[in-house]
Chain A
C-alpha cells in the first residue's frame, strides 16, 4: 500500500459538497481508516468489519440529522466506539469470516518481513489504539481520550507505555 497522508484533515466543507458529500468522505477516508484499524487490530477482517460499521453509523446519522461538523473526526471517533464494543469479539467475527485463515497468514507474513509489525504485537490493544490515535493520526490527548472512552491522562499513559514497548521491541530485534 502506498504511503498516505496520515494527519486528520480539516473539517470538510460539507455544504459545498452537496448530496455526494458522504461518498466523498468514503473515498477520502476509507483507506486511511482501514489501515489505521489494521494497525490496531492486526486483523484484516476485523478492521474491515469495524470500518464498514463506522461508515454505516456515520451514514445513518448523516441522513437523520445532517453531516457532522467534522465528518472525518466523527468517523474516526465512531470507529473507536465500534472497536471498543468488539474488543473481545474476535472469536465471533472469526466464525463469520470464511477467509479467516488467509487473514492470519497475511499477518504472519507481514510479521516475518517487518520488525515493526512484530513489535506491535507486544502492545496491548489499548496501547495500540492510543498510539495510533495520538502518534499516527495526530489527535491531541483529549480528543483521543474522547474517542476511546477514557480520561486524557489515561490515554497519555497508554501511549507512553506503548511507545516504550515498541521502542524496546524494535531495539531488541536490531541489537
Chain B
C-alpha cells in the first residue's frame, strides 16, 4: 500500500489548479434550484393533463378515448424472446462508447464470455479507459461480480435488485431521488440496472439477463415506453425514456429479443452495442438466429 500511496501522491501533486471558486458553487446551486422548480411545474402540468383527459374519457368523449394520456409513465415492453446461454456457448458483445467531440471513441471493444468464467476481450480502441485485453481461462475473465444468482424473471429480478440496493444490501445505492416527484426506489433500480447495460465491468451479463433488466426498468412509473422507433444506428427498436439525476435518458431495446442496444443521455449517444448474441466459440460473431442485437449495417 505504501508504494501505491506514494505514487498516488505524486499523481495528485501533478493535478492542475482547480478552476472554480465559491461564487461558482453558489451560481450552480441557483441554476439547480431553477431547474428543479421548472421540473416540478412540468410534473404538475402533466398530472393536470392526465386528470383532465381521464375525466373527459370517463364522460365518453370520443376524442380522448383509447389515447395515451399525459406524461405518466410505467409502460411495458413486449415480452422478450432470448434463449439462455448454454454450457460451451459464449455471450458476444461489440461495444462502442462514442465521443464525437474527441474525434475518437472512448472505447471500442468486443468480448466473448462463457458460463465457466472464461472468454476473450479484444480492444480496438481505448482512450483514457482501463480495460484488460486478452484470452482468459475458466474463472479468470475480468468482471466485478458473479451474476449467476440474478433471477431472469422480471418480478423476481426487481425484488432482488431492490434488496441489493438497500443500505444493508450487496450494492448499496445513494438515497437520492432521481427527479422531483419520483420515488427513491425508481432511482435505485435505474442505478442498479445501468451497471449491466454495455458496461465493461459486467461483460458477464447475458442477453437474457439484460432483457430482464429492461423489462424491470420499463415497469417503473417514471419510464415512458415507445415501440416502433429507431436506435442511434437506425436499427428498429423500442425505447425507454425518462429523466433521472439531471439527465434525459433513452435506453433502446431490440424489439424481438429485448436485449440492450444503445443509450443516449441529454441527446448524446453514450453507449452503442453494435452487435450481440450467443456464439459457439470465442472468435465467432453471431449469424442468423444467434444474434440478439443486429450488427450495424
Contacts of B171 in A (CB 8 A): 149-151
Closest to A55 in B: B25
B194 closest partner in A (C-beta): A88
A143 within 8 A of B: no
Q: Does B170 contact A (CB under 8 A)?
A: yes
Establish whether residues A2 and B13, one from each chain, have CB atoms under 8 Å apart when the complex forms. Answer: yes
Among B12, B22, B29, B100, max chain A CB count under 10 A is at B12
Q: Is B14 touching A114 in the complex (CB atoms < 8 A)?
A: yes
Across the interface, which residues of B come within 8 angstroms of A100, CB to CB? 101-102
The interface size bin for chain A is 35 or more
Instruction: Judge whether B10 is part of the interface by a CB distance below 8 angstroms.
Output: yes
Contact status A154-B174, CB under 8 Å:
no
B149 within 8 A of partner (CB): no
Q: Does B284 contact A (CB under 8 A)?
A: no
Chain A residues positioned under 8 Å from B106 (CB to CB) = 90-91
Kindly identify, within residues 151 to 188 of chain B, every residue whose CB is under 8 Å from any CB belonging to chain A: 170-174, 176
Question: Which of chain B's residues 88-135 have a Cβ closer than 8 Å to chain A?
Answer: 97-102, 106, 128-131
**CB pair A1 B13 closer than 8 Å:** yes
B18 and A81 form a contact (CB under 8 A): no
Q: Is the CB of B130 within 8 A of A26?
A: no
User: Which one of B53-61, B63-71, B75-83, B268-276 is at the A interface?
Assistant: B268-276
Count of A-B residue pairs with CB < 8 Å: 167
Residues facing B in A91-144 (CB within 8 A) are: 91-92, 94-95, 100, 104, 106-107, 110, 114, 116-117, 119-128, 131-132, 134-136
**B128 contacts A121, CB within 8 Å?**
yes
Assembly CA distance A91 to B131 (angstroms): 18
Which residue on chain A has the smallest CB distance to residue B145? A154
Contacts A52-B28, A81-B176 given; does A89 touch B15 at CB 8 Å: no
A27-61 to B contact mask, C-beta < 8 Å, 1/0 = 10011001110110011100110011101100110
Interface residues in chain A, defined as those with a beta carbon under 8 Å from any beta carbon in chain B: 1-4, 6, 23, 26-27, 30-31, 34-36, 38-39, 42-44, 47-48, 51-53, 55-56, 59-60, 81, 84-85, 88-92, 94-95, 100, 104, 106-107, 110, 114, 116-117, 119-128, 131-132, 134-136, 146, 149-151, 154, 158, 162-163, 165-167, 170
Q: List 24 A-B contacts (CB under 8 A).
A: A1-B13, A30-B20, A36-B12, A39-B11, A39-B12, A42-B128, A48-B18, A51-B20, A52-B25, A59-B29, A88-B199, A88-B263, A88-B265, A92-B270, A116-B7, A124-B129, A124-B201, A131-B4, A136-B12, A149-B174, A150-B172, A158-B144, A167-B3, A167-B4
